[in-house]
Structure 1
Amino acid sequence: MDAGLVNADSTLGSQLVNSHWYRVAGLAPRLRDTLRIHSQYWRRQLWYVVEDRINARYHRFDRQAYRIIRLLDGRTTLQQLWLRLAAEAGEHLPSQEEILSLLGQLHSLDLLATDTLPDLAELAGRGRSQTWRKRAASYFNPLAIRIPLFDPDRFLQRAAQRLAPVLSWRGAAIWLVCVLPALVLAASHWRELTNNFGERVMALDNLLMLAVLFPLVKILHELGHGLACKLGGGEVHDLGIMLLLFLPVPYLEASSSWTFPDKRARMLVGAAGMLVEVWLAALAFYLWFWLEPGMAKALAYDVTVLASVTTVLFNANPLLRYDGYYIASDALEIPNLAQRAGRWWSYLFERHLLGRRYAESPAQAPGEAFWFTLYSPLSFLYRTFVMFSIAVFVAGQYFAVGVLIAVWSVAASVALPLWRALGWLARNVSAGGIDSRPRRVILALAAGLGLFLFALPLPHHTQVDGVLWLPDSAVVRAGQTGFAERVLAISDSDLQPGETILELADSGLAAELAAQTARTEAAQVRYDAARLEDPAAGERYAAELRREQKALAHLAERDARLAVKSASGGRLWLSQSEDMPGRHFRQGDVLGYVIPPAPPRVRIIVDQSDEALIREHTRSVRVKLPFAVDSLWPATILRSVPAASNELPSAALGRSGGGEIATDPRDDSGRRALTSHFEYELGLPDDFPYRLIGSRVSVRFEHPLEPVGKRIWRGLRRLFLAHFHS
């Protein structure tokens, strides 16, 4: 749906009499004959929507402004109008300056008629200015560029008449019966739907398929808006092409629904397109579920993604000015939410920083100020997040296109709004009516912000999660595959280095060892006999003997590893020692731990983006335990693994174990991270009192003092390099 509604409510609080009133007091302005006025209630306040049937634009005015507009009949002069308002309004009389300001707004919106020859140069200049503003707003919005095509009103009128029996409560019941089971099935097949999502969607052949399907899906979306608008009695006179992220998709102008007096009817028009898409996504999902792998199944999957993901990210979200925004505005009963939220922040700045006590708040009903305060920053952050997410997603497969979208996003979402804000600030600071004190406050704030960002050194640290762990020598592992035969040490007993804990048996290895012993003895006999007869000929058997002896030594080494021994001294802890006899263990299986009297180690993983900072700019390391938050323990870096890895030292660091690291859902052990990292091992002081092996800890690396601005720049640069591989 198109956005064309303008809020033109007047502001109060100005001086009652204007010194230039005598110049215009005898004029009798009137509204153009092509205008229609509709009344609506928003938060129990009466508003009026002026419909411009020539330009297909809609302008909303509050009740106070309408008191003046209704008297613009071409016969009542401005002096008579003001006297009449004085008789009717009493103490709420609008000032002459407010009346002139409102007339200026009506004139700029081309709502006033004139009986004199118009200033053609002014009209042409105004038309060019409006055209430039519309084009600039379109081109600087990386989400949409609009090109109108034709008038679909008659077609939609006939379609609405034929589909009227379906577009009722029966249709709503059919929609629920179709969509609800699809949601349940999609949740149960979520892993299959999302597996390798990026590769499946961004493959070149699939992109070509999406380019064909996307306009077809969106034309149904727009027709849903149009049909709902026609059923409510509205008109639809504009259908065209919108370049959505360079992809041509249809759009339909259904803004005549803004004149509907019932907000539920307006909300239904806003939601109609999304209801059609969700229904289409459900049908496509059923086809994907039932079809065998092939082209048809791939088409069904693409339609399911298009009709669901795009609806959630763009249309349904009220923070973007699409369907969800207009539905939220009607639901909250806050007209022109985005514009008035921006004006609310401007009002706060003018009132509290510039000291303009006469600045008028755009909040005209209880509760509006709360939503104004939230909407502008959240909308800005979400728009920026969506655009950068799309850029990163696309750059993963097509680097140049992703970078182009990222640059466009920075220009349109950050640089241009910042430039406008600075221009607005400069104009307001240099404008009259501001004394020197607010100017000094603004300059002091700007200077303070600059010093804070780029000159003031502040504490800087990096914080990561770790786990209390033992040295490698304290881990008791099976040195050879075999069955447990005898347990020679019990849990919680003190061991000396080299003491045997468990004996394993491997009948196959024993047979190999006996056979190899026999072969070695035979080779020895042949060598000795040959050497006695002919020492020179005996050398031929020496190589055979050495080969057999080497094989025997290897088997003997494996046999020796069947005896599991303690590599260090300490207190033994075995897992289920009573059930060990007779159990089969593979080589490398962890059987238990020998907890030494020395403090445990801390094993941490460091993100690749932080590794260089930690390695080169760490002044000190501190460790904090979750059950002893009042104590900080110094630590030293003992070793670091020079290669990046996806394996976690403990499942406790992954999300499945309560940590912060995202792990691969296909890995049952919970120890495979989705991104690679570097591993560090830290040493704790000798007086560290805790031996809770496996407990998570928080580790802080202290770095030299550094201004915040430098950190922000490094973080943005790191983000760019990480996602765009430059």
Structure 2
Amino acid sequence: MSDTSLFSSQWHRVRDVRPRLASDVTVSRHVYRGRTAYVLHRRATAACHRLDVASFELVDRLDGDTTVGQLWERAIVERDKGAPTQDEWIALLAELHAAELIVVDRRVPEEKLFDRRQQHQRAQQRQRYLNPLYLRFALHDPDKWLTRFTPFAQLLFSRGAGLVWLTLIIWACLSVFTQADQLWDSLSGSSLLSSRYTLLFALIYPPLKLLHEFAHALAVKRAGGEVHETGIALMVLLPLPYVDASASALFADKYDRMLVSAAGILVELACAAIGALLWANTEGMLQDIGLVMFMVGGISTLLLNGNPLLKFDGYYLLADWIEIPNLTARSRAAVLGTLRSLVSGKPESRKRYDDRGERVWLHAYGVLSVIYRTLLMLSIAWMLSDRWFFLGVLLASVVLILVLILPVWKAISALIKDPVYRSGRSALLAGVVPLLLVMMLFWLPVPNSSVVPGVVWIPDEAVVRVSSECDISDVFAQPGQNVKAGDTLFICKEPEAQARLHELVARVDELRVRRAGAAARDPLTLNTLDAELAASDAALADTRERIVAATLRATLDGLFDVVDTSALLGRSLDRGDVVGYVIPPTVRTVRLAIDEEWIVRFDDRLKSVQLRVSGANGRARVYDTTVLRRTPKASHRVASAALSSYGGGLHTADPDGDGRLLKQAVFDVELEWPEMAGSAAVGSHVGVRLVYASTPLLERLSTALRLAIASRVAS
């Protein structure tokens, strides 16, 4: 008997009621987690309800003649301390009545019962449209023609068929394993977004889902069940067939129920295996078809349909395996019951959760499923907004209403109506906890930092760059050679520089002679000649500097290396081209790229910078550093391909570039290399931790959301 009071203040309302089980209720005996249970099923409403042995013994006595009070008094005599309290007996009857498994008054006419059935069906129809991720529209009752396939169902789900399936899966796995790199290249390539693959996906996905649903129906018929509904479901606006396999809830053997849940997954995995074999052993169109079959039947099935955190096949498979029916509803009730106990201070009733392992499953699933479903739906909304912005925003709004606004409203309603929450403790917790959460969101500063990859680089003076268009005529240092500051590396002559020099020298000499004559004969032209002479002198000086600059010298001691190729002699270069580097033994810097939208935070709120450098022994150490400079303008080109996705960086590389060209503009930042860090290979990655001023969490989330939406709208 429960530790709570044996009597209830509401007892007078129900003690004289004479309920009975509905005439179309069937009872089946099940075993869950080693405990016997009875499942009540009403065919008219498709409602199912599980009862333990003690509860079923009471419910089984509901005959329409015996009152609720008489049944309870009889239970007191027979069970003594094991009898339910009045509140527990009332709650059980309320649950059965809500599921329409009991009839309270036998004098209610059949027309009224029919009206109730219609009301239940309308409520079911409304429930179908509350999940924007999965909408269903019933079309047909297929049970009669499905019965003809019962012999085929027995053969399909036999041990022999299982061995064939297992052999096919192993064969496909071996084929994929031996060509894993090629498969990864095919899956990660941009060609999957082409119209060719989109068309193949649209042609292959519906037939696979039709086989999936047909497998569910055959698994139900194999175990003697009935399938009375089939139709079209919209899963993320994609039309797909479906069948109602809920009759499997009545199967006493849990492995029959598990087979019904897994049937569609097994068929799709078989199709995925066939697709993998096609991809691995064919070419052209057949190979493309195989790749799409592998993605649809394998990857999407395991991530979505086979995921137990979503209420699809994987959910029912898990519920039957751990023997906890109605897992979603019961896990929600368990979590809410725990919260109710924490707020009210009253111990949680654990009559239904005697098994400690069952309580762990319920609480873990209740929390994880809500988090996962919310994140999944928001992710889908984000992906939809890339193509249909309004639709994505609408779906995100629906998710927030269902996940945040409605639960808060229900909690407030429960707080007002439930007498359990009217104590001082409950009012204090209900007021203080939300206030603390609001304060944390709006005012409490939270440490703010980000970790980005940087690349070990060399100082700007180590870069060998030409200042004008030229051709390399003489080479004095070879790649891989150690040079010292001032050593000549090569000479890069401009083809027309010498001719231009001779022309300017002659021009200056001519102007000087003319000026000397004009000073004596024509003083009025003297100013004009002076201006021309000054311009020619400046051009001559510039040309001489360019000829001198044609001799490229090392500005540091280090190892000389070149870009692209080791052959320097005769190479033609454009102005600003980087020819090579003089890599110093120890002097280094660190280069990183900051997204354009985050540069304001970098400029205004950056407090410190840290480097995480791996030593020779494999251990990493953290060093403080400072910012040497950042470029004043954003650019689509980075210092090294190691900063782009081409070389393992964060920023997406332009496929038409050389690895240094990005799709989005970034700011180039250079950091000082700590002396204590010693030397490091140029081009290697280091971790850079940017520490910003602490900011409230809500401000950070709103900023990130605003920038993400702005980026999505702009794209």
TM-score bucket (shorter structure): 0.7 to 0.9
User: Kindly tell me: are residues 367 and 179 of structure 1, through their superposed partners in 2, closer, same or farther at Cα, counting changes over 3 Å?
Assistant: same
Alpha-carbon separation, structure 1, partners of 2:677 and 2:309: 52
Alpha-carbon separation, structure 1, partners of 2:652 and 2:137: 45
Written as runs of structure 1 = structure 2, the 5 A alignment for 1:701-712 is: 701=690, 703-712=692-701
Tell me, yes or no, if structure 1 residue 72 matches structure 2 residue 62.
yes
Larger relative contact order (C-alpha < 8 A, sep ≥ 6)?
1
Secondary structure of 1:682's counterpart equals strand
Secondary structure of 1:165's counterpart equals helix
User: Kindly tell me: are residues 243 and 103 of structure 1, through their superposed partners in 2, closer, same or farther at Cα, counting changes over 3 Å?
Assistant: same
Residue pair 2:76, 2:83 contacting (<8 A) in 1 also: yes
Alpha-carbon separation, structure 1, partners of 2:645 and 2:36: 52
- State the shift of 1:101 in Å: 1.8
User: Kindly tell me: are residues 317 and 664 of structure 1, through their superposed partners in 2, closer, same or farther at Cα, counting changes over 3 Å?
Assistant: farther
- State the shift of 1:593 in Å: 2.4
Tell me, yes or no, if structure 1 residue 368 matches structure 2 residue 358.
yes
Letter in 2 for 1:226: A
Aligned to 1:572: 558
Letter in 1 for 2:444: L
Residue pair 2:381, 2:393 contacting (<8 A) in 1 also: yes
Residue pair 2:623, 2:674 contacting (<8 A) in 1 also: no
Aligned to 2:209: 218
Secondary structure of 1:371's counterpart equals helix
Letter in 1 for 2:367: P
Question: Of 182, 187, 190, which aligns to 2:184?
Answer: 190
- State the shift of 1:271 in Å: 1.0
Residue pair 1:215, 1:250 contacting (<8 A) in 2 also: yes
Aligned residues: 665
Output one character per residue of 1:422-480: Cα deviation in whole Å (capped at 9) or x when no partner: 12321332232331132122211111211221133445444433234222221347998
Question: Of 238, 253, 258, which aligns to 1:262?
Answer: 253
Aligned to 1:49: 39
Secondary structure of 2:217's counterpart equals helix
Tell me, yes or no, if structure 1 residue 719 matches structure 2 residue 705.
no
Letter in 2 for 1:711: R
Alpha-carbon separation, structure 1, partners of 2:167 and 2:544: 69
Residue pair 2:45, 2:121 contacting (<8 A) in 1 also: no
Secondary structure of 2:318's counterpart equals helix
Aligned to 2:339: 349
Secondary structure of 1:261's counterpart equals coil
Aligned to 1:322: 312
- State the shift of 1:348 in Å: 2.1
- Which segments of 5 or more consecutive residues in structure 1 lack a partner in the other structure? 1-10, 529-549
Question: Of 610, 613, 618, which aligns to 1:623?
Answer: 610
Tell me, yes or no, if structure 1 residue 112 matches structure 2 residue 105.
no
Alpha-carbon separation, structure 2, partners of 1:298 and 1:689: 50
Letter in 2 for 1:97: D
Tell me, yes or no, if structure 1 residue 472 matches structure 2 residue 460.
yes
Residue pair 2:610, 2:690 contacting (<8 A) in 1 also: no
Letter in 2 for 1:96: Q
User: Kindly tell me: are residues 119 and 564 of structure 1, through their superposed partners in 2, closer, same or farther at Cα, counting changes over 3 Å?
Assistant: farther
Alpha-carbon separation, structure 1, partners of 2:164 and 2:621: 60
Secondary structure of 1:145's counterpart equals strand
Letter in 1 for 2:605: T
Residue pair 2:634, 2:668 contacting (<8 A) in 1 also: no
Residue pair 1:621, 1:636 contacting (<8 A) in 2 also: no
Letter in 2 for 1:279: A
Question: Of 345, 368, 382, which aligns to 2:372?
Answer: 382
Alpha-carbon separation, structure 2, partners of 1:684 and 1:194: 36
Alpha-carbon separation, structure 1, partners of 2:547 and 2:332: 76
Aligned to 1:5: none
Residue pair 1:142, 1:409 contacting (<8 A) in 2 also: no
Tell me, yes or no, if structure 1 residue 251 matches structure 2 residue 251.
no
Alpha-carbon separation, structure 2, partners of 1:596 and 1:208: 56
Letter in 2 for 1:255: S
- State the shift of 1:85 in Å: 2.3
Tell me, yes or no, if structure 1 residue 613 matches structure 2 residue 601.
yes
Alpha-carbon separation, structure 1, partners of 2:233 and 2:289: 23
Secondary structure of 2:155's counterpart equals coil
Letter in 1 for 2:186: E
- State the shift of 1:556 in Å: 13
Letter in 2 for 1:404: L
Tell me, yes or no, if structure 1 residue 154 matches structure 2 residue 144.
yes
Alpha-carbon separation, structure 1, partners of 2:401 and 2:125: 18
Secondary structure of 2:134's counterpart equals coil
Output one character per residue of 1:49-71: Cα deviation in whole Å (capped at 9) or x when no partner: 11212222322223342232222
Aligned to 2:428: 440
Aligned to 1:422: 408
User: Kindly tell me: are residues 580 and 227 of structure 1, through their superposed partners in 2, closer, same or farther at Cα, counting changes over 3 Å?
Assistant: closer
- State the shift of 1:238 in Å: 1.4
Alpha-carbon separation, structure 2, partners of 1:712 and 1:86: 58
Letter in 1 for 2:409: G
- State the shift of 1:75 in Å: 5.1
Written as runs of structure 1 = structure 2, the 5 A alignment for 1:521-600 is: 564-566=552-554, 568=555, 570-574=556-560, 592-595=581-584, 600=588
Residue pair 1:621, 1:699 contacting (<8 A) in 2 also: no
Output one character per residue of 1:53-102: Cα deviation in whole Å (capped at 9) or x when no partner: 22223222233422322222445443442244234433221112211221
Letter in 2 for 1:60: R
Written as runs of structure 1 = structure 2, the 5 A alignment for 1:72-221 is: 72-74=62-64, 76-113=66-103, 116-118=106-108, 130-131=120-121, 133-183=123-173, 184-185=175-176, 187=180, 188-196=182-190, 199-200=193-194, 203=195, 213-221=204-212
Identity %: 28
Alpha-carbon separation, structure 2, partners of 1:664 and 1:426: 50
Aligned to 1:3: none
Residue pair 1:490, 1:572 contacting (<8 A) in 2 also: no
Q: Which moved more, 1:471-480 or 1:141-150?
A: 471-480
Output one character per residue of 1:644-690: Cα deviation in whole Å (capped at 9) or x when no partner: 42x55345546786x652666989987666x5351323353997774
Output one character per residue of 1:240-271: Cα deviation in whole Å (capped at 9) or x when no partner: 22222333322111111122222222111111
- State the shift of 1:222 in Å: 0.7
User: Kindly tell me: are residues 630 and 55 of structure 1, through their superposed partners in 2, closer, same or farther at Cα, counting changes over 3 Å?
Assistant: same
Tell me, yes or no, if structure 1 residue 242 matches structure 2 residue 233.
yes
User: Kindly tell me: are residues 502 and 20 of structure 1, through their superposed partners in 2, closer, same or farther at Cα, counting changes over 3 Å?
Assistant: closer
Aligned to 2:535: none
Letter in 1 for 2:255: R
Tell me, yes or no, if structure 1 residue 642 matches structure 2 residue 633.
yes
Letter in 1 for 2:388: F
Alpha-carbon separation, structure 2, partners of 1:42 and 1:378: 23
User: Kindly tell me: are residues 347 and 502 of structure 1, through their superposed partners in 2, closer, same or farther at Cα, counting changes over 3 Å?
Assistant: same
Alpha-carbon separation, structure 2, partners of 1:489 and 1:287: 49
Secondary structure of 2:84's counterpart equals coil
Alpha-carbon separation, structure 1, partners of 2:193 and 2:2: 58
- State the shift of 1:560 in Å: 7.8
User: Kindly tell me: are residues 688 and 638 of structure 1, through their superposed partners in 2, closer, same or farther at Cα, counting changes over 3 Å?
Assistant: farther
Tell me, yes or no, if structure 1 residue 39 matches structure 2 residue 9.
no
| Superposition RMSD in Å | 4.5
Secondary structure of 1:353's counterpart equals helix
Letter in 1 for 2:668: Y
Alpha-carbon separation, structure 2, partners of 1:444 and 1:654: 48
Alpha-carbon separation, structure 1, partners of 2:367 and 2:570: 61
Letter in 1 for 2:312: Y
Letter in 2 for 1:603: R
Alpha-carbon separation, structure 2, partners of 1:573 and 1:68: 91
User: Kindly tell me: are residues 701 and 556 of structure 1, through their superposed partners in 2, closer, same or farther at Cα, counting changes over 3 Å?
Assistant: closer
Secondary structure of 2:48's counterpart equals strand
Letter in 1 for 2:705: L
User: Kindly tell me: are residues 487 and 373 of structure 1, through their superposed partners in 2, closer, same or farther at Cα, counting changes over 3 Å?
Assistant: same
User: Kindly tell me: are residues 263 and 560 of structure 1, through their superposed partners in 2, closer, same or farther at Cα, counting changes over 3 Å?
Assistant: same
